[in-house]
Amino acid sequence: MSVNTQKAALRKHLLEKRDATSAELREISSEKIHQNLKKISEYTNSQNIACYFPIGSEINTCDIMLDILGQNKNLLLPRIVNDNLQFCIVSNLEKLEKGNFEIMEPKDSCKKAEKIDCVLIPTVGVSKSGVRLGYGKGYYDRFLSLIDAVKISLTYSKQIVKFIPNDSHDVKIDWIVTEDENVKIS
């Protein structure tokens, strides 16, 4: 079985598991993840923080985004430009509009980010060796391969698996933050 076939099967399984989690439990877990994230100095010491606008059953990052803005740090959110992620500085959440895949993204008036210190990454699944499983389009792997920033995967503890098949283009992450723990990848 090819790596892509293995990834697709695992992605389907993990998304079904995540989608089956109640909205109430997802909100409680998202708040715990936010609290755990604040314990990571590479995050708290960052000035330019790339985040994502949540969709479906993903970790709710709205409080994290508001916290970043409230600390007068630069909140960077992605939009898709020429099939790649481009992060832009967002001064408030009213500077967003529906973009590709019906995901909220920065309006054209938002300035492109010059510097990124830390990236919070949406995650379908992750292994404790730092291999992340995304949605399969490769946007984050392409983007992460071009930057030198702390890479933090936000995910529910039940999305951590022993093994994720990987390719040479898959970029490993530095931290996993769940509702139960912070895991530093060595």
**Average confidence (pLDDT) over 98-103:** 82
Residue 87 has pLDDT above 90, yes or no: yes
Could you give the percent of the chain with pLDDT greater than 70? 100
Output phi, psi for 164, to 5 deg. Answer: -125, 125
Question: Does 139 map to a domain?
Answer: yes
How many domains is the chain built from?
1
Question: Does 185 map to a domain?
Answer: no
Residue 83 has pLDDT above 90, yes or no: no
Q: Is the CB of residue 121 less than 8 Å from the CB of residue 151?
A: yes
**Average confidence (pLDDT) over 84-91:** 95
Question: Does 81 map to a domain?
Answer: yes
Residue with tokens 């076939």: 5
Q: What is the pLDDT of residue 57?
A: 95
Range of the domain at 43: 3-180
Decide the pairing of beta strands 104-106 and 84-90: unpaired
Structure confidence by residue, pLDDT tens digits, 29-60 = 999 999 999 999 999 999 999 999 999 999 99
Question: Does 92 map to a domain?
Answer: yes
pLDDT band of residue 4 (cuts 50, 70, 90) is confident
Question: Does 147 map to a domain?
Answer: yes
**Domain CATH number, residue 173:** 3.40.50.10420
Residues in the chain: 186
Structure confidence by residue, pLDDT tens digits, 104-162 = 999 999 999 999 999 999 999 999 999 999 988 889 999 999 999 999 999 999 999 99
58, 53, 67: which is closest to 27 by C-alpha?
58
Question: Does 64 map to a domain?
Answer: yes
Structure confidence by residue, pLDDT tens digits, 13-29 = 999 999 999 999 999 99
Question: Does 186 map to a domain?
Answer: no
Report d(CA 144, CA 151) in Å as an integer.
8
The three-class DSSP label of residue 124 is coil
97 C-beta neighbours (distance < 10 Å), count: 11
Cα–Cα separations (whole angstroms), residue 93 to 63, 76, 90, 155 = 11, 11, 7, 22
Q: What is the pLDDT of residue 136?
A: 84
Q: What is the pLDDT of residue 95?
A: 87
Question: Does 157 map to a domain?
Answer: yes
